[in-house]
Amino acid sequence: MSFLSATLSRVKPSPTIAVTAKAAELRAAGRDVIGLGAGEPDFDTPQNIKEAAVAAIAAGKTKYTAVDGIPELKAAICAKLRRDNGLDYTPAQVSVGTGGKQILYNALMATLNPGDEVVIPAPYWVSYPDMVLLAGGTPVIAAASLENDFKLTADQLEAAITPKTKWLIFNSPSNPTGAGYNRDELKALTDVLLRHPHVWVMTDDMYEHLAYGDFKFCTPAEVEPALYARTLTCNGVSKAYAMTGWRIGYAAGPVELIAAMRKIQSQSTSNPCSVSQWAAVEALNGPQDFLPANNEVFRRRRDLVVKMLSQIEGITCPVPDGAFYVYPSIAGLIGKTSPGGRLIDSDEAFATALLEEADVAVVFGAAFGLSPNFRVSYATSDAALETACRRIRDFCASLS
């Protein structure tokens, strides 16, 4: 019998982290690899946020804090949810954790029993199914289609729900597709949930502020107030405030669930970093004017990537509403062979050949539950994006 736990055999390491590591390895070996795998903004954390952290250190705010967040941060989160989402929460309904990842994981650990099902629309963020498995639940994948812009329909959600369903995990704008649900599309899903009172919704609003053009972000409890009592609204400062390394995420929901999440955190990591919490207070309460400025850069890059990839024969590239990803289909390239002799029989084979033969690192679609596609993160410079798209074009043209 293995010394390692049986739970471990059910989960896989994060493929996105694996791609980033592989690209770094090739770069260290002297190859000019362009990485389009990273899930973080290339912008620096805004100066006022850094200064708030420095001030916190100088003031000695370097000790343990309340397990699930300092009162000042909880107050800032309540104010943010009211301001941006029209949602009323009290501090007792708020939990702060070490990144959005810990928040989602705490919630699953706090609620899942063996046999409980969690509906996860695909394409999904890679961690959702594995987190559900780690927490002892069963992921139920509900596949959306490229034809519907990677958004789940009401019928598809209805078909995935069973008496064992505990949660729907909802993510808009989405990692990996950038797809965003408008109010009507989200209402169609919340209407389904109204018919199934045993199903709760865990909404991952991490990319809320990264929305472009006409797209207007909305969140389930705002669109359908009747779901408020069974919604966990999750968010964080990682993406919008370029604070991935600071590790602050948060959630708001029913007091009993928040207390259960606190219990788990109290026996695992205790409080998130005290200094980061003070930085997050400044992020949420301070000036927000860099958000539209950053978004303008992201929108320009999105348009650049979509334009260049759409011109490639064999690739279909929908225009995303938000986040910093595009999720093109390579259906038109399946069955071809690369100059290096690799048969492109899957998106994984495509991504491997692209990295090995054209020095561009992308993440293959199977990792996100919908193939044959690949994910491009455009959170990198315009020059790198242009070069990478030209390499992808030349690589695709070289397939026979």
Ligand X SMILES: Cc1ncc(COP(=O)(O)O)c(C=O)c1O
Interface residue with ligand X, options 35, 68, 80, 125 (CB under 6 A): 125
> Which of 74, 101, 230, 375 forms a contact with ligand X (CB under 6 A)?
101
Query: Binding ligand X by CB under 6 A: which of 14, 65, 93, 238?
Result: 238
Total interface residues for ligand X by CB under 6 A:
13
Segment contacting ligand X (CB under 6 A): 29-37, 75-83, 98-106, 157-165?
98-106
Q: Least separation, in Å, of the C-beta of 164 and ligand X?
A: 24
- Subset of 28-67 contacting ligand X (CB under 6 A): 39
Contact characters 194-233, ligand X, x per CB under 6 A = ----------x-x---------------------------
CB of 101 to ligand X, least distance (A): 3
Among 131, 103, 106, smallest CA distance to 118 is for 131
**Which lies closer to ligand X via its Cβ, residue 173 or residue 318?**
173
Question: Pattern 315-354, binding to ligand X, x per CB under 6 A?
Answer: ----------------------------------------
CB of 100 vs ligand X, minimal distance in Å = 3
**Nearest-approach distance from CB 97 to ligand X, in angstroms:** 8
Identify which range of 56-64, 94-102, 150-158, 378-386 contacts ligand X by CB under 6 A. Answer: 94-102
Give the binding range for ligand X (CB under 6 A) out of 93-101, 253-261, 286-294, 295-303. 93-101
List the one residue out of 244, 280, 300 whose CA is nearest residue 44. Answer: 244
Asked if 128 and 278 count as a contact pair (C-beta separation under 8 A), the reply is no
Which range binds ligand X by CB under 6 A, 30-38, 96-104, 106-114, 258-266? Answer: 96-104
Tell me the residue number closest to ligand X, measured at CB.
Answer: 99
Our CB check for ligand X shows the closer of 206 and 392 to be: 206
| 3-state DSSP of the chain | CCCCCHHHHHCCCCHHHHHHHHHHHHHHCCCCCEECCCCCCCCCCCHHHHHHHHHHHHCCCCCCCCCCCCHHHHHHHHHHHHHHHCCCCCHHHEEEECHHHHHHHHHHHHHCCCCCEEEEEECCCCHHHHHHHHCCCEEEEEECCHHHCCCCCHHHHHHHCCCCEEEEEEECCCCCCCCCCCHHHHHHHHHHHHCCCCCEEEEECCCCCCECCCCCCCCHHHHCHHHHHHEEEEEECCCCCCCCCCCCEEEECCHHHHHHHHHHHHCCCCCCCHHHHHHHHHHHHCCCCHHHHHHHHHHHHHHHHHHHHHCCCCCECCCCCECCEECCECHHHCCCECCCCCECCCHHHHHHHHHHHHCEECEEHHHHCCCCEEEEECCCCHHHHHHHHHHHHHHHHCCC
Smallest distance from ligand X to CB 168, Å: 15
Pick the closer one to ligand X by CB: 322 or 372: 322
Establish if 175 lies at the interface with ligand X (CB under 6 A).
yes
Choose which of 236, 318, 328, 372 interacts with ligand X (CB under 6 A): 236
User: What tokens appear for 282 in the block?
Assistant: 């400044």
Residues that bind ligand X (CB under 6 A): 39, 99-101, 125, 171, 175, 204, 206, 236, 238, 244, 249
